[in-house]
Structures are given as structure tokens and as C-alpha cells.
């Protein structure tokens, strides 16, 4: 999704430049003002897409940090060693939960549910 947003941002900025150029070439004040306003709106839309992109990056990084934290903080109750994250998959019955499975070298395994919401 981030790549698609980057394309939208670039397109908005291109439209803004085009509108600014039309404003410079316009002879009457009303047309000049209209094109200038359109350029302002295109730049505002580009900034909105940039905000969405930064929010998405934040949420992805937050989810990764949560998984890393789970992985690092999961000690085996049998031997005390760190357990490894074996799999993470969406649950069938709970919309916003993923099922994380951990395993240990001693053979013990554990599962926990993790919210997808950051």
C-alpha cells in the first residue's frame, strides 16, 4: 500500500504544479484565483496522503515491535530458555486477533492471541 500512496502523492504534486502554471498564465483575476486555489487543494491532498503513509508506517513498526517484544519476553515455563516464534496467523473466529505459536528446544510449545490493533 505504501507504494500506491507514493504514486498518489507524486500525482497530486504534479497536478499542483500544473494548476500553479495555469494560474501564472491566467489573464483574469478570477481564473488566476481559481487555479491558485486548486493548486493549494492538490498540495493539501498530497500532505494528507503523506500523513496516512506515515501513520501506516507507524502502525506497521508498532506491530513489529510488539511481535519482537513477545518473542524476546517469552521464556519457556519448563526450562526457562527463550522460546522461538514459530508462526503467526489470523484466527477464524476472532476478527481482530492473530494466533502466535511459540516453541522451545526442550519440546514445550505455547500459543497466545495478539490484537491486530496497535
Sign of the four-CA dihedral 82, 84, 89, 92: negative
State the Cα torsion 89-91-115-100 to the nearest 10°. Answer: -40
Range of the domain at 110: 75-118
Separation of alpha carbons 7 and 48, rounded Å: 13
Distance (Å, whole) CA 93 – CA 116: 14
Of the ranges 4-13, 23-32, 39-48, which one carries the lowest mean pLDDT score?
A: 4-13
Same domain, 60 and 82: no
* Lowest-confidence segment of 7-11, 14-18, 83-87, 107-111 by average pLDDT: 83-87
Residues 64 and 112 both lie in one domain: no
Band (pLDDT 50/70/90 cuts) for residue 118 is very low
Judge whether residue 21 has pLDDT over 90. yes
Please give the Cα distance from 20 to 14 (Å, whole number).
10
Predicted pLDDT at 106? 95
Q: Number of folded domains in the chain?
A: 2
Together in a domain, 55 and 96 = no
13 and 51 part of one domain: yes
The verdict on 109 and 63 lying in the same domain is: no
What's the average model confidence in pLDDT over 63-75? 64
Amino acid at each position: 500500500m505504501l507504494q500506491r500512496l507514493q504514486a498518489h502523492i507524486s500525482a497530486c504534486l504534479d497536478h499542483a504544479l500544473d494548476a500553479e502554471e495555469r494560474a501564472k498564465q491566467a489573464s483574469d483575476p478570477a481564473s488566476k484565483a481559481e487555479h491558485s486555489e486548486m493548486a493549494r487543494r492538490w498540495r493539501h491532498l498530497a500532505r494528507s496522503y503523506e500523513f496516512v503513509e506515515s501513520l501506516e508506517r507507524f502502525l506497521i513498526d508498532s506491530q513489529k515491535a510488539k511481535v519482537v517484544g513477545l518473542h524476546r519476553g517469552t521464556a519457556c515455563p519448563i526450562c526457562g530458555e527463550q522460546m522461538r516464534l514459530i508462526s503467526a496467523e489470523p484466527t477464524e473466529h476472532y476478527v481482530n486477533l492473530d494466533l502466535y505459536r511459540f516453541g522451545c528446544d526442550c519440546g514445550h510449545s505455547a500459543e497466545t492471541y495478539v490484537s491486530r490493533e496497535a
